[in-house]
Amino acid sequence: MINFATVYNVFIRDFHKQKKRITLTLLALGWGTISIMLLLGFGEGLHTQLSINQKGMGDEISILWGGQTTIPFKGLGKGRHIHLFKEDPAYLKKRIPELRYIAGEYHRWGAAVKYGDKILSEHINGIAPEFEMMRAHIPMMGGRMINELDMQLKRRVAFLGDGFKERLFGDEDPIGKQIFINGMPFMVIGVMQEKMQMSSYSGSDEDKVSIPATTFQTVFGDRYLDNIVYQPWDVDNMKSVERQVYEAMGVRYKFDPNDERALQIWDTAEGAREFNNMLTGINIFLGFIGSLTLLIAGVGVANIMYVSIKERTREIGIKMAVGARRSYILFQFLIEALLITFFGGLGGMSISYILTEAFKRIPIESEVLDFMGRPTISLEIGLIVVSILGIMGIISGLFPAMKAASVNPVESLRHE
Amino acid sequence: MIDLCKVTKTYITGTVEFKALKDIDLQIDRGEFVAIVGPSGSGKSTLMNLLGCLDVPTSGEYRLEGHSVNKLTSNQLADIRNTKIGFVFQAFNLLPYATSYENIEVPLLFAKVSAKKRRDRILELLALVGLADKLNNKPTELSGGEMQRVAIARALANDPDIILADEPTGNLDSKSGTAIIEMFHQMWKSGKTIILITHDMKLADQTQRIIRLKDGAIDGNGNLA
Ligand SMILES: Nc1ncnc2c1ncn2[C@@H]1O[C@H](COP(=O)(O)OP(=O)(O)OP(=O)(O)O)[C@@H](O)[C@H]1O
Ligand SMILES: [Mg+2]
């Protein structure tokens, strides 16, 4: 009964008759679609980029420092300093099966690092092989990270941050070269892959020189660990692991496990979780703004349909006189509205796609892009926009179409 | 076939009621050729809209082929207009953007006639009204007489029993008017029931029966030719 070719022909005829109005409506629709797609795509890019940046320091890890007691415990006064010792990570790992990785860390700022004639004052970091997984210390091709054997044998090997390598070696390949740290010779075994790190607790990893924690302890003679880094198997257990750390350490160093200040723990995943919520908020906000733009376009579609129906009441009357059911008239106008929405939406989506692809190909490296990311259009965004457009097309077409279907044929045919 | 019993039609404009038809009793048999005449505003078009199921009576009963039209749904009325009734208007009422061919196709589309049958039927009708060479012309590219012939072809598309014509020659010169009236006579001879509204008594005199309307009521009813 509904002949799509006829409806399409009528649409084309209408297009010629009201070129200007339809073109404007198509533009509004296209613009609405572009803005919602780019806003959502921008949100998506931001999300991706921030997760990358977040992973720079490490994903789903907690950092543990010593502290000072504030509650008297078993006859011991308050104000005692709690220090971390190199045996603590193994102790905690044994007690808390939920822990996937745990390792201690030393820091020394301002050590002299020398290669050839060049001397730089640097941050020396005593770390463990677990840092490759926990803290994204990924070696570049041709080199390696500190391993278990380096730890056992307390080897004098060094893993360089990529930024530091650049400053000390320039373009030279550092692997296998000898450097001197406070006069002691170390062999360079690897350079860290470049990464984006937005948060830190001890400076940027790219500027550090890392050596095995065991070597660090022998060479510098530190009594205490500066901090411990750990990661649970399941990030959802972060809080319960934290509890268990307080309890186990409380037993070991005799403090009240409820004494929050006895240890300091930074749950980085908590930040990430909050961050994700914030990002979702931003995305909803951006989507909302985009939808508003699209809504205005929808009003435009409804308006053009109303005008078109007013001009075509006679046509509607004629069709009814020769046997059109009201449902046919309804569908005819609904389909016309959907066709306009379809073409406008399709145009807008294509342009958005081209724009984001172009954006991806912009070769410039900029801090803004590093922070914001580049807008990306995912299948998800496409589906969201298509459904919004579909719903909008139906709504903005339905009311005018209902009006069209309620035209009184006698009235519409009576006047010349 | 057509049976009106005490039919009235009241238009309400704002708070003003206007009785356009008053207690009309009228029977028209199958195959009759009837003229409806009367002064302007006497209710001729109103009556035709009722007969053509474009409108329903305010009161009284309209029986078409024994079925009461009052009780039909809007879809059923649409189907009756599509297959049982053909309209011819003074103002032609063709779709302005469509060709002769497409205009004649519209009722066939609503009747769900297959593409092949539609084509055959349209070409047959165009030949019948003598416009085989004008199938791709739009209304603006046709003369008044030609437009009315397309309208007649459209009215005949689904081979209806009844043809309702509201002053079909009102916008035509006498020569094309005569040709159109000739067509109505042919349709009548082929068995259709024809109801012709006209001002022109010469045309009315050529029919079997003249129904006179005055102020919404039937004035005289008779003179079988
Ligand atoms: N929709 C309407 N609302 C109010 N009044 C109407 C309506 N349609 C028709 N009328 C009135 O009903 C009366 C009959 O109208 P109708 O069109 O049937 O007359 P007519 O006999 O066909 O006249 P004409 O010869 O001029 O075509 C007129 O007075 C007209 O003003
Ligand atoms: Mg009239």
| Per-residue pLDDT tens over the stretch B22-78 | 999 999 999 999 999 999 999 999 999 999 999 999 999 999 998 899 889 999 999
The segment with the largest mean pLDDT, out of A11-25, A162-176, A290-304, is A162-176
Q: What is the pLDDT of residue A288?
A: 86
Q: What confidence tens digit (pLDDT) does each residue in A297-309 have?
A: 888 888 888 888 8
d(CA A87, CA A152): 14
Q: Is B18 in the pocket of ligand 1 (CB under 6 A)?
A: yes
Q: What does the domain layout of chain B look like in residue ranges?
A: 2-224
* Cross-strand pairs, B19: B10
* Cβ within 8 Å, pair B110-A328: yes
pLDDT value for A38: 86
Tokens of B29: 């048999």
CA-based nearest residue to A130, from A92, A179, A175, A182: A92
Confidence class for position B225, pLDDT limits 50, 70, 90:
very low
pLDDT of residue B223: 46
| A166/A26 same-domain check | no
Report whether residue B176 contacts ligand 1, using a CB cutoff of 6 Å.
no
**Mean pLDDT of all residues belonging to chain A:** 87
Q: With contact defined as beta carbons under 8 Å apart, do B33 and B196 qualify?
A: yes
Instruction: Indicate if ipTM > 0.95.
Output: no
Containing structural domain, residue A69: 62-267
Residue A122 and residue A259 in one domain: yes
**Closest in B54, B79, B112 to A321, CB measured:** B54
Contact call for residues A228 and A89 (beta carbons, < 8 A): yes
Pairing of strands B59-64, B67-68: antiparallel
Task: From chain A, pick out residues whose CB is under 8 angstroms from the CB of B147.
Answer: none
Query: Are A213 and A292 found together in one domain?
Result: no
Instruction: Give yes or no for residue A226 having a pLDDT over 60.
Output: yes
Structure token pair of residue A84 = 């971390």
Q: Where a domain ends, among A267, A290, A305?
A: A267
Q: Which range has the top average pLDDT, A35-44, A116-125, A153-162, A371-380?
A: A153-162
> Ligand 2 center to residue B128 CA distance, Å?
28
- In the structure, what pLDDT confidence band is assigned to residue A367 with cuts at 50, 70 and 90? low
- Same domain for A243 and A150: yes
pLDDT of amino acid A36: 86
Q: Which atom of ligand 1 is nearest to the CA of A410?
A: 1
* Closest CB to A410 among B49, B93, B94: B49
Average pLDDT over residues A173-188: 93
Query: Looking at the partner chain, which of B74, B91, B109 has a beta carbon nearest the beta carbon of A3?
Result: B109
CATH number of B2-224: 3.40.50.300
Contact A320 B81 (CB under 8 A): yes
Residue A368 has pLDDT above 70, yes or no: no
pLDDT band of residue A3 (cuts 50, 70, 90) is low
What is the mean pLDDT of the segment spanning A172-193?
Answer: 93
pLDDT at A371 over 80: no
Burial group, residue A237, by CB count within 10 angstroms (0-12, 13-18, 19+): middle
The residue-averaged pLDDT of A346-372 equals 79
A313: pLDDT strictly greater than 80: yes
Task: Report the percentage of chain A scoring pLDDT > 90.
Answer: 44
Is residue A235 exposed (0-12), middle (13-18) or buried (19+ Cβ within 10 Å)?
middle
Q: What does the pLDDT read at residue A359?
A: 79
Residue reference for tokens 């042919």: B186
Q: Helices (DSSP H) in A156-237: which residue ranges? A: 162-169, 213-220
Residue pair B90/A415 in contact by the 8 Å Cβ criterion: no
Check residue A195 and give its pLDDT.
82
User: Do residues A153 and A201 share a domain?
Assistant: yes
Q: Which of A267, A288, A322 marks a domain boundary? A: A267
Q: Which of A248, A267, A286 delimits the end of a domain? A: A267
Query: Do A170 and A294 have their domain in common?
Result: no
* Per-residue pLDDT at A78: 82
Across A330-339, average pLDDT: 87
Indicate whether A169 and A316 sit together in one domain: no
Q: pLDDT tier at B220 (50, 70, 90 boundaries)?
A: low
Average pLDDT, chain B: 92
Tell whether A359 and A401 lie within a shared domain.
yes
The separation between CA A356 and the C-alpha centre of its own chain, rounded to angstroms, equals 17
Answer yes or no: is the C-beta of B97 below 6 A from any ligand 1 atom: no
Number of domains chain A contains: 2
Distance B40 CA to ligand 2 centre (A): 7
Substitution candidate for ligand 1 out of B18, B19, B212 with most atoms within 8 A of CB:
B18
Check whether B121 has a pLDDT greater than 90. Answer: yes
Q: Are residues A277 and A213 in the same domain?
A: no
Residue B224, pLDDT score: 44
pLDDT higher at B202 or B85: B85
